[in-house]
Structure 1
Amino acid sequence: MVGNGRRMNRLVAFLVVVCSAVSGCRAWDCSAADKQTLLDFKNGFVDTNGVFNTWSDSTVNCCAWKGITCRESDGAILEINIVGSSGTNQQPYRSPSYQGTVGAGLVALTQLQKLKIEWVLFNGPIPQQWGDFSTTLVLITINNANLRNDIPSTLVNIQNLRHLDLKNNHLTGSIPSTFCTHKKINYIDVSYNDMTYLLVPPCLVNQNNLTVIFDHQGNSTSPGYPAAGSTLTVSSLLLAIGALTTALLFL
């Protein structure tokens, strides 16, 4: 009986090795629904330089696509990490024929933890639907993507979001005051956008565990106000508000 048990263990170990070498027998192939969600996202762009060239319907397992990380136990998509080219006119850009908001459907990836996209041009707003991301999502980084309009206040509904990096876009308005009630967020970067001068809500002053990085397009001369690309702290924002108030009194 002992010999049989050892032979069985060796057989199991052998099969594990074989399965590791043959992609077709992996247990972590992505689901058909998740694969279609990714293809729908890809189809929102004109991609002349092949940033998404591994994202193909002919590839059965989307866990093998570039920029996709899956959980080995069940194939659930945990991370999207897409970096396009920084070369002039070499980025994927929003397809003129696409109906709807590019990226809205990504909320169907219910196990997604990290969403990182750079040099892929959305040429439009951050989807309001992103507020419906599941509680697994902890990080959003969308840089150099030509995001426009205001940051949707619905993002506060992502309960476990900790890191929000939206630098180098064309966002307007200010940081939504709804983030003042968010219990987990500890980092926001909105530097190098087209946001208003007073883009940081005063209620964020009391968030000692929150870092906000921002700038003012280099057109601010008010004394004491943090320079472009500054990191916000409680003390620096208090000094900034005080300096601005003083300046306004002498106008």
Structure 2
Amino acid sequence: MAKAEQQVVLSRILLLLLVFHPQVNGLSNTEVDALYSLKSNLIDPDNVLQTWEPDNVNPCKWFHVTCNNENSVIRIDLGHASLSGHLVPQLGQLSNLQYLELFGNNFSGVIPGVLGNLTNLVSLDLYSNNFNGAIPDSLGNLSKLRFLRLNNNSLSGSIPYSLTYITSLQVLDLSNNNLSGEVPSSGSFAQFTPNSFANNPLLCGTLAAKPCPGAPAFSPLPPYAVAPTPMSS
């Protein structure tokens, strides 16, 4: 075979490899599929997701998406974006995601349990939306999580004890929901105050500042020491 013919054959092989490479072919790129599935379930009146298209096969070039050096999605920033709709289970495919910032929108429906698969997640901010249903027990799998803010939603049910096993948890806000039952006070929860659970009328326990039914009343706090008034000369 002549050298010129060999170069033509090699060029065609390289072209085929590029066409069918998973990072180029949107149909086989799970991160593109996951993000586009999310977009397809949302109402976006301000068109903030205009670049989220399956034929734009590199999500690292999409608005509000950040990637690492390996071109894998590590951050989604969509706070206060006027979005509404439901989260999709395909979000659980974003295995390297570290920050999911969806606060201040009109998201509704339940929080998908598959978010517990995002074991690299550092921050989960879903506050100030319209989420309902229970807090998924699977969120206790997020061993690297430092910030969990689910406040100002319509979440119900009990607080999963699995969350107390997240030793990295530094900030927790579950206030202004419809949660019920006893607030766990062990593990990582020992560092939090009643502010993290405020305005959930059906919560009880030490961290809810309200005795649970059938439990003894809390002991009164010791009186503050009052310094003696100095006598006038």
Whether TM-score is above 0.5 comes out as: yes
What is residue 125 of structure 1 aligned with on the other side? 110
- The Cα offsets for residues 175-201 of structure 1, whole Å up to 9 and x where unpaired, read as 2112233332232111121223x5522
Provide the C-alpha distance between the structure 1 equivalents of 2:182 and 2:46, rounded to a whole number of angstroms.
36
Secondary structure of the equivalent of 1:195?
A: strand
- The Cα offsets for residues 28-76 of structure 1, whole Å up to 9 and x where unpaired, read as 99983212211111111122332322323343432122211111x2211
What is residue 216 of structure 1 aligned with on the other side? 199
Amino acid at match of 2:175: S
* Displacement of 1:238: 9.2
Provide the C-alpha distance between the structure 2 equivalents of 1:43 and 1:82, rounded to a whole number of angstroms.
15
Change (3 A) 1:180 1:61: closer
Residue pairs, 1:4-153, within 5 angstroms: 32-71=29-68, 73-85=69-81, 91-94=82-85, 102-134=87-119, 136-153=120-137
What is residue 194 of structure 1 aligned with on the other side? 178
Provide the C-alpha distance between the structure 2 equivalents of 1:108 and 1:202, rounded to a whole number of angstroms.
32
Secondary structure of the equivalent of 2:145?
A: coil
- The Cα offsets for residues 140-167 of structure 1, whole Å up to 9 and x where unpaired, read as 1112221101101111012222211111
8 Å contact kept, 2:35–2:91: yes
What is residue 151 of structure 2 aligned with on the other side? 167
8 Å contact kept, 2:145–2:168: yes
8 Å contact kept, 1:149–1:173: yes
8 Å contact kept, 1:30–1:62: no
Amino acid at match of 2:148: L
Determine what percentage of the aligned residue pairs are the same residue: 26
Amino acid at match of 1:192: N
Q: Is structure 2 residue 230 aligned with structure 1 residue 246?
A: no
- The Cα offsets for residues 200-229 of structure 1, whole Å up to 9 and x where unpaired, read as 22435x744456612125x69x9xx9xxxx
Over alpha carbons, which structure has the higher Rg? 2
Provide the C-alpha distance between the structure 2 equivalents of 1:67 and 1:167, rounded to a whole number of angstroms.
23
Residue pairs, 1:224-239, within 5 angstroms: 237=207
8 Å contact kept, 2:65–2:73: yes
Provide the C-alpha distance between the structure 2 equivalents of 1:191 and 1:111, rounded to a whole number of angstroms.
28
Change (3 A) 1:209 1:49: same
What is residue 231 of structure 1 aligned with on the other side? none
Provide the C-alpha distance between the structure 2 equivalents of 1:202 and 1:210, rounded to a whole number of angstroms.
8
Provide the C-alpha distance between the structure 2 equivalents of 1:116 and 1:74, rounded to a whole number of angstroms.
21
- The Cα offsets for residues 7-38 of structure 1, whole Å up to 9 and x where unpaired, read as xxxxxxxxxxxxxxxxxxxxx99983212211
Provide the C-alpha distance between the structure 1 equivalents of 2:41 and 2:177, rounded to a whole number of angstroms.
23
With normalisation by structure 2, the TM-score equals 0.68
Change (3 A) 1:192 1:59: same
Provide structure 2 residue ranges, at least 5 long, that are not aligned to the other structure.
1-22, 219-233
Moved more, 141-150 or 60-69: 60-69
Provide structure 1 residue ranges, at least 5 long, that are not aligned to the other structure.
1-27, 86-90, 95-100, 226-235
